Amino acid sequence: MNTFITAASRRGPRDGKRRICFPITSRAYYGRSQLLIRKLHAHPAVDLELMLGGSILLDKYSHHIAAEIESEGFNISAPMFNVVEGGNHVAMAKTACLTALEFTNGLHATDPDVVVISGDRFEQLAIAMAAAYLNKTIAHIEGGDVSGSIDESVRHAITKLAHFHFVTNDEAHRRVLAMGEDPRYVFNVGSLDVERAAQVDATLTEAMVNRHGVGCVIDVSRPFLMVIQHPVTTEQENRAHLEATLRAVGSLGVPTIWFWPNPDAGTAEMSETIRHFREHHDRATANTRFITNVPVDEFVAMLKATACLVGNSSAGIKEASYLGTPVVNVGARQRGRLAAENVLHVDYDAAAIGAAIERQLRHGRYAASPVYYRPDASQRIADRLIDLELYTQKRFFDAAALST
Amino acid sequence: MNTFITAASRRGPRDGKRRICFPITSRAYYGRSQLLIRKLHAHPAVDLELMLGGSILLDKYSHHIAAEIESEGFNISAPMFNVVEGGNHVAMAKTACLTALEFTNGLHATDPDVVVISGDRFEQLAIAMAAAYLNKTIAHIEGGDVSGSIDESVRHAITKLAHFHFVTNDEAHRRVLAMGEDPRYVFNVGSLDVERAAQVDATLTEAMVNRHGVGCVIDVSRPFLMVIQHPVTTEQENRAHLEATLRAVGSLGVPTIWFWPNPDAGTAEMSETIRHFREHHDRATANTRFITNVPVDEFVAMLKATACLVGNSSAGIKEASYLGTPVVNVGARQRGRLAAENVLHVDYDAAAIGAAIERQLRHGRYAASPVYYRPDASQRIADRLIDLELYTQKRFFDAAALST
Amino acid sequence: MNTFITAASRRGPRDGKRRICFPITSRAYYGRSQLLIRKLHAHPAVDLELMLGGSILLDKYSHHIAAEIESEGFNISAPMFNVVEGGNHVAMAKTACLTALEFTNGLHATDPDVVVISGDRFEQLAIAMAAAYLNKTIAHIEGGDVSGSIDESVRHAITKLAHFHFVTNDEAHRRVLAMGEDPRYVFNVGSLDVERAAQVDATLTEAMVNRHGVGCVIDVSRPFLMVIQHPVTTEQENRAHLEATLRAVGSLGVPTIWFWPNPDAGTAEMSETIRHFREHHDRATANTRFITNVPVDEFVAMLKATACLVGNSSAGIKEASYLGTPVVNVGARQRGRLAAENVLHVDYDAAAIGAAIERQLRHGRYAASPVYYRPDASQRIADRLIDLELYTQKRFFDAAALST
Amino acid sequence: MNTFITAASRRGPRDGKRRICFPITSRAYYGRSQLLIRKLHAHPAVDLELMLGGSILLDKYSHHIAAEIESEGFNISAPMFNVVEGGNHVAMAKTACLTALEFTNGLHATDPDVVVISGDRFEQLAIAMAAAYLNKTIAHIEGGDVSGSIDESVRHAITKLAHFHFVTNDEAHRRVLAMGEDPRYVFNVGSLDVERAAQVDATLTEAMVNRHGVGCVIDVSRPFLMVIQHPVTTEQENRAHLEATLRAVGSLGVPTIWFWPNPDAGTAEMSETIRHFREHHDRATANTRFITNVPVDEFVAMLKATACLVGNSSAGIKEASYLGTPVVNVGARQRGRLAAENVLHVDYDAAAIGAAIERQLRHGRYAASPVYYRPDASQRIADRLIDLELYTQKRFFDAAALST
């Protein structure tokens, strides 16, 4: 490659620091990575660069989070508009392509030593692909989990492009090794979400709930439900699935905080379903407060206070396991994921969902489970991102061959 | 999703046929897939669609191959220009992104039941990603192999996005299963390249060699070498590596057919290295004929006639294993791949390369190996592409869990 | 160019028909072009192809309009998702680029004889650019007007890429000629919007208004205002400008139908301004009904019934001139455009806006003006699209040189 | 727009300087702009930023020119790979789109006060479009000329997007005004190419010619021809046109320096035509030296020494007018452009071309013409780029209205 081009396009000398790049494409990713990002930012041997893109710059909360990110003094580059409108699979696929196209430029210009890919969203695979073609060392957080949507495939595909793996639980650890990753580079560090949740000591107040969203006022001193049900992009029947939950929850008459789904393929129809249900079943939703988004600390405070979390959020599997929150997990999205005993799995069936919620209401809170928890998850990741020897050429690690 | 949009953009009714889409992005992929494509095209229950893109439309041989494809009467759609110039990693990454962007449109419009991804080139991963987001069933040919470049990661990432797997050998079979793929969908069918090679009965003539390229006239009745050495995109020292081979071969004085490398990142410097060597070592290259490209049948005839194939082409591992061609495999590109006894592995070292070639010249041809060969590979794939039940939601298949 | 590629990618033989392609990128464009499209569709010598893209597939009314388009039996191709989210200039520019990229593929595959570009939206310039590079004959509807935003430049740039020009008024005619276009190809055919409006004979009913939107119920038997105020993308003070109108209209106490602005750069802040004003000036907006969108016929019926149209919509200049609707045109967006006597121009000043509205209320309706009206505008355009000899090489037509 | 995003993505404070951005997409543009760029770079009130893209980074001479640019110490940003391979209209259109997409990011990040667009190449229109959507003030160099390809339309479309106009001759001045541009912003400053040529005092040596390219050795002390014939993208018969010139020149037997055409749509077939002719008419090309590219100073020295320049290069119209070089201009590409008396226009006809060359050989050199020459063109442009008040909202300037 032309050395001039290289020189002209890339950030200056590193002064011996390791340049670590974090592509952040949604608010959730920022929230979950905050502890890690702060530790890397503070480390004298690290030149940290946040690359913002995707929906993080788009929703109406971006002012909020943008101000928050800026106030931390991070080095932020390449905020880009690369989300294609449409809210369907075609738009999602194109968003991934456009994101990868633009991050290719950004990664080439920034020239990082390590690119940190987080989770399983489609833009993250696209960015991992771009980083792989650019011959960067890729670190992946939260690989190895199983789940019930396209996320499952995306997560494992990222694993096969990544060089360092920070998994959150023993089963994921085993799977990443089975997939041929070198044990020297696979680390069970626990979940960043759970570490974050464990550090929250806020107690839920009425204001924390009722200053958000619209609908009934929630009395937090009495039992209340939380519902978070995202569309599952490989299923055609998101609408019917959501209605099952709406009916089940509506018929119980328990005060409920209902979170609107994340922006994603299928979201529009989910939102429409909720709106339609609200208009036609006003008694069923008379006890419901609809909320779009709350700060992480307040969300954790709600998880610690709720009588039961219903739906298919990963928070039910991860944060709730440690917080002891009773969970009714509905449908395929989290199916197969390692779960602690706080989770009851049910199908998209109003009666079954209702029965499971009642069972959880009777049971009450659970003991904290260690399945996703390690102390200092963020510190463990930071240490390795800083110290591990970089490499780019991967080779399938043949455990079976070794053992014979 | 808006049903109108769906209706407007998609090909009409299938009449009960299974629509199978083949994205073909290089000449090599077409050559290797020809037997399979013909069988699918001829089958009454299949609605086959070839989607051409990438470099297949670009090089100076595309007229040639395009006429060939057209003469077969296939249904061809969406030829697109999506190769970004530059011949470096940035251009390669962008090509992948642009390819995926355009195939998203093409796949959405064609609305296939199955998308067949072949091998491990970067555009194929990008297309697989687009197909996955569009919720298509993905079939992958030639997964599970190990090798020594970015191809290794790309190949396994495709595996984790794919639903049906057609591997070419037992080791690949074992690896694909280890990676968590469901045994019901993983098939060792042997190599399409080897099946194709096995069907060639042409005998090499002087015309077959000397009507191509430039340089010394090769006497095919006497021992001659073939050299194919591609750049390895994760290595900085392509130039030095190539010079080692140039020196080794040049010093032997054996007539040699030297193939220019494929267009890819690093190709320009490879070509320049060869040109430079030619100009400054005219005696060393006095016995050499430089060739860009030959028809598949003539290439196989050369493999059957050559005294030794030198370099890092996959033909040395696959076709040559069945044809019994002596091979000196240089460097990391094919390292780790299952190889028959016809292959000697050496490092980028002129002396070692020279010694290995001489050893192969003394040994002569090998017996045919079955490692990559199954009779009717193409028929086996075709049968399964037609008959297997389609699915889209993948789940890590936990062999270890089963066995306990 | 490779003839194979050409053959493979393009639609079949034309049977002597002229293939005319209409890129439609917004609902408004479809509404305005409907009469013309129907005439072309019905003509035996025309092979009409609608290419849908941009926001037409995105807003919540797209179901509606899509069903309408489909019911007409048109040949529809290439619906594509190419709108980049963000609602700012960067997103708008990227949308143009992505649109042009995808229409390049669509135009290449469709291979039209003529591409019909309409108006002055940014995607239309991008599509015109793609068509020009593909060597297509470009027809432009509604060139030559002046106005007060980026639209002005975009419109004239399209003129300089176009081969046939269908202008709507004498001043535009003169300007297009001044810009060096050949008089043989410039036609003042009147406005398609006005022709459409002239054919509407519906009388406004209460249902037509009050089944749309939210807010106060409008009594259509008594005087009411209509307000349509779009953001002007070259001005920073959209918010202040809108507030001037909100205050002026609010203080009059006249029942008002207020249309939300079109989706475009600056729209988000406009909508937020309206929402904020509503919340803080509930008395001022007590007489207001907020409406997003109505069918064309009902919109025309409103124009025919309203006491005054306020804001910066082109309907105030064009349709209202023929319908005799009193108009208060605010700010720079339509400034300089040929206007009939029904229009009062005022600045972004609440007092001036209020005074002008009162003056119009006192004046009442105007006589129909012919400035934008020719009978059979659509037929005139259709005839020429069908009969004019095609050409592609443009040459500045030097009127001054001729006259000397 | 989100202020955070703005802050994060843009270059820091300007310290009162005017930030001027030069998108440079080909070697030719750099050559022609060099004097201007140096003056801007040296000016204390200017913050100059070169944005490199397009083919400038791609051809084999880019090392050369890149080193040259770098050595000047300019601030260079955003080198990007955005040329789509294919060498046809589709690839050209896509290149424009991809270029605009990437320059949108670059321009947004750089946030210039003025973007300087040069000439009429398709990427320059695409960049102008992006800059217009981003609300930048656009300066255009070399508008108003007429010529005979798609360049004509592109050039005028850029004019209609631009705010400041630096034209090279009186006729162009008149046309830009006719197109409705404001006289306060239109300046006839003469041609940068001619200013550059006028400053070259090198005398042609044999080495200057014969160290480049391949073919016959040119004796520069005796009469020799230069041929530069580019493809004309709106004509199908590039090949036939080129053969006419090849035959005409070949039959004269005069030593000839033949320049390969620029990379562009149609170039591949041009090059193939030349190669084919060489192989089949070796006698006709026995006196010919084929050259790809030479430094600007040496090119000017050749123009000053050649007996006649043949083909369709703009150098025949511009530089040659001042240098007094006899020119035979072939075909439509420069047709209609203001030309001095040194130019004979002929059609694509071998006999006519031959006769015209012979006529020019008999005539010998011409007197210097002032049509494209103003002293200090670059200084005049620089002064205005620095001092003119910036504006973005354009308005058609109605000269006719003024005069009545």
Alpha helices in B111-203 (DSSP H): 122-133, 150-161, 170-178, 192-199
Q: Quick one: pLDDT at residue D171?
A: 95
pLDDT in tens, A150-166: 889 999 999 999 999 99
CA distance from start to end of chain A: 44
- Per-residue pLDDT band at C67 (split at 50, 70, 90): confident
Strands (E) across B224-287 are located at 225-228, 256-259
Residue C4 banded pLDDT, cuts 50, 70, 90? very low
A101: nearest CB among B97, B104, B398: B97
Contact D375, D368 (CB under 8 A): no
Nearest partner of C129 among D178, D107, D100, judged by Cα: D100
* Cα→Cα distances B240→A83, B291, B316, B346, D353, Å: 43, 21, 22, 15, 51
Are B84 and D83 in contact (CB < 8 Å)? yes
- D98 or C213, greater pLDDT: D98
| Amino acid C301: pLDDT | 96
Compute the distance between CA of residue A38 and CA of residue B310 in angstroms, rounded to an integer: 52
Q: Does residue C107 contact residue C129 with C-beta atoms inside 8 Å? A: no
Q: Burial-class residue A71 by CB neighbours within 10 Å (0-12, 13-18, 19+).
A: exposed
D59: pLDDT strictly greater than 80? no
pLDDT for residue D4 is more than 70: no
For residue C204 the two structure tokens come to 């406004």
Residues in chain A within 8 Å Cβ distance of C90: 81
Q: Which of D57, D60, D89 is nearest to D231 (CA)?
A: D89
Give the pLDDT of residue D174. Answer: 95
Question: Across the interface, do A85 and C85 touch by the CB < 8 Å criterion?
Answer: yes
Q: Percentage of chain D surpassing pLDDT 70?
A: 90
Question: Is residue C8 scored above 90 in pLDDT?
Answer: no
- Per-residue pLDDT, D62: 62
The whole-number average pLDDT for the span A262-268 is 60
Between CA D139 and CA D125 the distance in angstroms is 12
Using CB atoms within 10 A of its CB, is residue B361 exposed (0-12), middle (13-18) or buried (19+)?
middle
User: Does D326 score more than 70 pLDDT?
Assistant: yes
Lowest mean pLDDT among B369-373, D274-278, D383-387: D274-278
Chains touching chain B, criterion 3+ CB pairs below 8 Å: A, C, D
Which SS3 state, helix, strand or coil, does residue C311 take?
A: strand
Using CA atoms, how far apart are residues B288 and B307, in angstroms rounded to an integer? 14
**What is the dihedral sign for C-alpha A395, A397, A401, A404?**
positive
**What pLDDT was estimated at residue C158?**
98
Mean pLDDT (whole number) for A50-71 = 75
Listed in sequence order, the residues at least 6 apart from A323 whose beta carbon sits closer than 8 Å to its beta carbon are: A197, A300, A303, A304, A368
Q: Cα distance from A296 to chain C (closest Cα, Å)?
A: 25
More confident residue, C384 or D336: C384
Paired tokens of C15: 């049977």
| Residue A2 banded pLDDT, cuts 50, 70, 90 | very low
Give the H/E segment covering residue B115.
Answer: strand B114-118
Assign D149 a pLDDT band (cuts: 50, 70, 90): confident
The residue in chain D having the minimum alpha-carbon distance to the alpha carbon of residue B88 is: D81
Determine whether the interchain pair A85/C88 forms a contact, defined as Cβ–Cβ distance below 8 Å.
no
Q: What is the mean pLDDT of residues A62-72?
A: 74
Pairing of strands D288-291, D214-215: antiparallel
Give the range among C24-28, D95-99, D157-161 with minimum mean pLDDT.
C24-28
**Chain D residues whose beta carbon lies within 8 Å of the beta carbon of residue A76:** 8
pLDDT string in tens for chain B (404-residue length)? 333 444 344 556 678 899 999 999 887 888 889 999 999 999 999 999 999 888 777 765 566 677 778 788 888 875 678 888 877 888 889 999 999 998 998 898 889 999 999 988 888 999 999 999 999 999 999 999 998 778 899 999 999 999 999 999 999 999 999 999 999 999 999 999 999 999 999 899 999 999 988 888 999 999 999 999 988 765 557 788 888 999 999 999 999 999 987 655 556 667 777 777 777 777 777 899 988 878 889 999 999 999 999 999 999 999 999 999 999 999 988 888 899 999 999 999 999 999 999 999 999 999 999 999 998 999 999 999 999 999 998 999 987 554 44
Task: Kindly report, residue by residue over A267-315, the tens digit of the pLDDT.
Answer: 666 777 777 777 777 777 789 998 877 888 899 999 999 999 999 999 9
* pLDDT score, position B277: 76
Are the Cβ atoms of C91 and A98 closer than 8 angstroms? no
Q: Tokens 């419901």, residue?
A: A288
Residue C7 has pLDDT above 90, yes or no: no
CA distance D404 to D401: 6
Quote the DSSP letter at residue C84: B
**Digit-coded pLDDT (tens) for B270-292:** 777 777 777 777 777 789 998 88
* Residue C1 binned pLDDT confidence (cut-offs 50, 70, 90): very low
How far is the C-alpha of A396 from the C-alpha of B337, rounded, in Å?
A: 10
Mind giving me the DSSP string for B6-58?
A: HHHHS----TTPEEEEEEE-SHHHHHHHHHHHHHHHH-TTEEEEEEE-GGGGT
pLDDT at B183 (0 to 100):
97
d(CA A245, CA D353): 83
Residues of D near A (Cβ–Cβ under 8 Å) read: 2, 4-5, 7-9, 52, 57, 62-63, 66-67, 69-70, 76-80, 101-102, 105, 109
How many angstroms separate the most distant Cα atoms in chain D?
Answer: 69
- Residue in D with minimal Cα distance to C136: D234
Give the model's pLDDT for residue D8.
41
Give the pLDDT score at A62: 62
Are residues A84 and C98, on separate chains, in Cβ contact within 8 Å? yes
D93, D161, D179 ranked by CB distance to C104: nearest: D93
Measured in whole angstroms, the distance separating CA B133 from the mean position of its chain's CA atoms is 25
CB D388 within 8 A of CB D48: no
Shortest Cα distance, chain A CAs vs residue B400, angstroms = 9
Q: What residues of C are in the A interface, CB distance below 8 Å?
A: 55, 57-58, 81-86, 88, 90-91, 94, 98
Q: Which residues contact B11 (CB under 8 A, 6 or more apart)?
A: B19, B109, B110, B111
Q: Give the one of D133, D149, D154 whose C-beta lies nearest to C96's C-beta.
A: D133
Amino acid sitting at position B47: D
Per CB-CB distance under 8 Å, the chain D contacts of C333 are none
At C231 the three-state DSSP class reads: coil
Inter-residue contact B312 to B241 (CB < 8 Å): no
Residue A125, CB-side half-sphere exposure with 13 Å CA sphere: 37
- D402 pLDDT exceeds 50? no
Opening angle at CA A234, ends A232 and A239, nearest 5: 50
pLDDT of residue B63: 61
Strands A18-24 and B164-167, by their bridges, are unpaired
Contact (CB, 8 A) for C29 and C368:
no
Q: Are the C-beta atoms of residues A162 and A3 closer than 8 Å to each other?
A: no
Question: What does the block give as tokens for B158?
Answer: 């495709």
C342 contacts C366 by C-beta, under 8 angstroms: yes
pLDDT tens, residue by residue, A166-179 = 999 999 999 999 99
Contact call for B159 and A160, based on CB within 8 A:
yes
- Cα D245 to Cα A357, C377, D352, distances in angstroms: 86, 49, 10
State the Cα–Cα distance between residues A204 and A201, nearest whole angstrom. 10
With cut-offs at 50, 70 and 90, classify the pLDDT of residue C26: confident
pTM of the model: 0.89
What average pLDDT does this structure show over D6-32?
76
Distance between first and last Cα of chain D: 44
Q: How many Å lie between the alpha carbon of A263 and the closest alpha carbon of chain C? A: 12
Per the prediction, chain C carries an average pLDDT of 87
Helical segments of D139-188, H only: 150-161, 170-178
End-to-end alpha-carbon separation of chain C, Å? 43
Q: State which H helix or E strand residue B271 sits in.
A: helix B267-280
Average pLDDT over residues A131-146: 95
Contacts of residue D241, defined as CB under 8 A and 6 or more positions apart, other chains included, come to D229, D232, D235, D330, D331, D348
What chains are in contact with C, requiring at least 3 Cβ pairs below 8 Å?
A: A, B, D
Q: What is the pLDDT of residue A315?
A: 94
| pLDDT band at residue A236 under the 50/70/90 scheme | low
Is the Cβ–Cβ distance between B82 and B102 less than 8 Å? yes
pLDDT at B402: 45
* Residue A43 scores a pLDDT above 70: yes
Q: What's residue B267's pLDDT?
A: 62
* Closest by Cβ to B135, choosing from A89, A152, A174: A89
Structure confidence at residue A400 (pLDDT): 56
